[in-house]
């Protein structure tokens, strides 16, 4: 009795499954006959199944028989831009089921061919996938089947691979291109293909006989057969259970039989083969259980474990045990504790790694995984302690947004509102990006939605409050201090002294009349002021520059003796006369009757503001601060 083992990775890959599901979905929506451009997949049983569901294959040269608005599905192999143009010109309803992995290759080929790179494709020049890819660089690609080249290679190339290629051929291609000056290499071999090849290689070394299930014209299945045949001479390739040789199972010399299947082989065909073998009293419960596991689906937050398949320039590809889809861990999701690239260098192909599902499918068809989530759980525990104990800690600012700053603490997003960045208004938040910031949590909750809100301002306020308290204690009423003019208001200016803002009222700037503080002072100017008001409890500080200047009315009678002639400037006019400035803070009045020998109705008939005039001092009243002048009496 033979033991039968099923390859860990076998059957439909993501791209094929997606194409079949899309076709069935589209047919159901239109409820009419639809077409696929060429066989949807290289499996005759699946093609017949699709035809039973009113989905038929048609070749490009025959699309003239279709009517406009007929539905045509692009298969997972993809097509060239030129083919898409033809279909659109025919006004067909084109629905693209190209495998996301293939689409990714097409985009790379289009981009880098436009940038001056010569495209090199590793693959079968007659395979529809390769033909389609070549169409995105105007059919100018150099195509190699096994990595060897007959003609000289350009010195600036971009290398891609057919998704179903063997990793051995990829490595051989890179080796043969080692002398090329500039090689931009993208390993576009589908991880699902690579995983199936690895699984097949492993069990074919252990088995006495191998059964490879899949379409005879399927590229990936053919490669599985080639790998099996190299390791196990007794290898057969069948499309379905009907082709399974009865004497193959009955051979008593075969102790262990390995079973694998190409990416275009549906689960039900694999199960039919296992069921036939099961009639010979073999125990296939484990194998059938595994096949059932192949139908498992992911959910966000699931913890998964897999084996590292390969590393790219920006991510790690992971084969997930018991799942059809493979996973990808972007370097940005590897670690917050150390540099991701450095961390990635420590990982090797074949290593086991645990991660959490953060996205069910990216544009390339991979399940996106995160190792950061494990670190984040620990970080949340630490943050909860820091919040409860009111401790400060540092974060690195990753991004400046309209409403504040976004920081990172071991993979956890920490938000600092704009009002909590600084004591004063922050005009340019970008100056904090990529810098460490000491903060304190002001809101923390793990309930949905999670809240991790912090403040830098409260730490600065604590420091400033201590400094302010010390400054207020140092102030004394009546003393002269030095400060900096900080800002202006309609009623004066604020002068900062030892970090405290004091008010310099308009009336305290000069003995002369001041209309706007900015007419006399400049922002940033250092001035000496006298403390004329001090209220520590209300935190009010009143200042004066005028009090440090001589009082202009002191000794006015001596400075301006009666009957003397004085030169002054007209500063104000009203109905009863004109005020003349003799010096800043000292004005004299020329009554309207003392302005001219001619009769005037208003002083403006004889005088103008700003005009310099000579006048005779008639009287001086120091107590009431009045000086009477006459122009007429000169």
Active site (catalytic) residues: 129
Note the helical H segments in 346-443: 372-389
In 3D space, the residue among 150, 189, 137, 146 whose CA is nearest the CA of residue 169 turns out to be: 146
Q: How far apart (Å, rounded) are the C-alpha atoms in residues 347 and 339?
A: 13
Residue 78 CB neighbours (<10 A): 28
CA distances from 457 to 40, 417, 418 (A): 62, 10, 10
Note whether 447 and 384 are within 8 A (CB): no
DSSP letter for 439, please: E
Please give the helix or strand (H or E) that residue 572 lies within, else none: strand 565-574
* Cα–Cα distance, 489 to 521 (Å, whole number): 12
Pairing label, strands 500-505, 540-544:
parallel
Exposed/middle/buried for residue 197 (C-beta within 10 Å: 0-12, 13-18, 19+): buried
8 Å CB contact between 280 and 233: no
Element (H, E) at 19: helix 14-30
Residues 135-158 as b/e (b if ≥16 CB within 10 A, e otherwise) read: bbbeeebbbbeebeeeeebeeebb
Which residues contribute to the annotated binding site?
13, 42, 77, 99, 127, 163, 190, 218-220, 264
How far apart, in whole angstroms, are the C-alpha atoms of residue 480 and residue 44?
A: 100
Reading the block at residue 348, the tokens are 């090797």
Strand pairing class (34-37; 55-58): parallel
Give the whole-angstrom CA distance, residue 271 versus residue 273.
Answer: 5
Structure tokens belonging to residue 187 = 């390993």
Evaluate whether 525 touches 483 at the Cβ level (below 8 Å). no
Q: Does residue 115 come out as left (phi exceeding 0), alpha (psi in the -120 to 50 range) or beta?
A: alpha
- In whole angstroms, give the CA distance from residue 22 to residue 38: 15
Residue with tokens 């595994």: 290
Q: Which of 552, 548, 581, 576 is nearest to 566 (CA)?
A: 581
Among residues 579, 631, 12, 10, the alpha carbon closest in space to that of 321 is found at 10
Q: CA 491, 494, 497: angle at the middle one, nearest 5?
A: 155
DSSP string, 102-132: HHHHHHHHHHHHHTTPEEEEES-TTSHHHHH
The arrangement of strands across the sheet holding 256-261 comes to 3-6, 256-261, 209-213, 235-238
């Amino acid at each position: 009795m033979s033991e039968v083992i099923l390859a860990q990775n076998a059957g439909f890959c993501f791209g094929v499954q997606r194409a079949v599901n899309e076709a069935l979905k589209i047919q159901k929506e239109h409820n009419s006959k639809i077409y696929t451009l060429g066989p949807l997949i290289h499996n005759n049983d699946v093609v017949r199944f699709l035809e039973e569901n009113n989905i038929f294959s048609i070749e490009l040269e025959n699309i003239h028989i279709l009517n406009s608005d007929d539905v045509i599905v692009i298969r997972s192999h993809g097509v060239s831009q030129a083919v898409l143009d033809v279909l659109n010109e025919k006004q067909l309803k084109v629905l693209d089921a190209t495998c996301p992995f293939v689409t990714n290759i097409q985009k790379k080929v289009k981009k880098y061919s436009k940038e001056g790179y010569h495209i090199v494709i590793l693959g079968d020049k007659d395979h529809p996938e390769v033909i389609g890819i070549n169409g995105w660089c105007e059919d100018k690609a150099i195509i190699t089947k096994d990595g060897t080249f007959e003609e000289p290679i350009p010195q600036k190339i971009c290398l891609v691979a057919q998704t179903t290629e063997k990793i051995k051929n990829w490595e051989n291609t890179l080796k043969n291109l080692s002398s090329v000056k500039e090689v931009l290499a993208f390993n576009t071999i589908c991880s699902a293909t690579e995983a199936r090849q690895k699984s097949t290689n492993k069990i074919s070394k252990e088995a006495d006989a191998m059964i490879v299930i899949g379409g005879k014209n399927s590229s990936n299945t053919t490669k599985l057969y080639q790998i099996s045949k190299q390791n196990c001479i007794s290898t057969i390739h069948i499309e379905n259970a009907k082709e399974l040789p009865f004497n193959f199972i009955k051979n008593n010399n075969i102790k262990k039989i390995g079973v694998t299947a190409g990416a275009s082989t549906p689960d039900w065909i694999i199960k039919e083969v296992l069921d036939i073998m099961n009639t010979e009293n073999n125990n296939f419960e484990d194998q059938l259980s595994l096949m059932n596991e192949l139908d498992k689906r992911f959910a966000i937050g699931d913890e998964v474990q897999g084996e590292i398949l390969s590393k790219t320039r920006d991510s790690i590809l992971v084969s997930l045990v018991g799942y059809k889809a493979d996973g990808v861990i972007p370097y940005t999701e590897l670690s917050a504790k150390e540099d991701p690239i450095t961390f990635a260098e420590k990982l090797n192909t074949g290593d086991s790694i645990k991660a959490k599902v953060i996205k069910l499918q990216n544009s390339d068809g991979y399940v996106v995984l995160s190792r950061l989530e494990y670190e984040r759980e620990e970080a949340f525990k630490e943050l909860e302690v820091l919040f409860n104990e009111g401790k400060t800690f540092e974060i690195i600012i990753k991004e400046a947004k309209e409403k504040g700053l976004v920081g990172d603490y071991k993979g956890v997003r920490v938000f600092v509102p704009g009002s909590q960045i600084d004591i004063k208004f922050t005009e340019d938040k970008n100056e904090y990006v990529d810098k460490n910031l000491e903060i304190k949590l002001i809101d923390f909750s793990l309930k949905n939605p999670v809240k991790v809100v912090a403040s830098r301002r409260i730490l600065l306020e604590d420091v400033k409050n201590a400094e302010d308290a010390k400054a207020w204690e140092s102030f004394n009423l009546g003393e002269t201090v030095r400060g900096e003019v900080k800002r202006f208001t309609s009623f004066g200016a604020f002068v900062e002294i030892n970090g405290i803002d004091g008010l310099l009222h308009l009336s305290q700037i000069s003995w002369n009349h001041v209309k706007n503080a900015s007419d006399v002072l400049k922002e940033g100017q250092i001035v000496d002021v006298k403390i004329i008001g001090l209220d520590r409890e209300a935190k009010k500080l009143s200042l004066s520059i005028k009090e440090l200047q001589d009082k202009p009315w002191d000794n006015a009678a001596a400075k301006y003796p009666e009957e003397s002639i004085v030169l002054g400037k007209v500063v104000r006019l009203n109905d009863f006369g004109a005020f003349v400035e003799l010096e800043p803070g000292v004005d004299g009045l020329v009554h309207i009757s003392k302005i001219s020998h001619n009769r005037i109705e208003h002083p403006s008939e004889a005088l103008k503001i700003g005009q310099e005039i000579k006048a005779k001092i008639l009287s001086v009243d120091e107590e009431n601060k009045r000086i009477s002048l006459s122009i007429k009496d000169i």
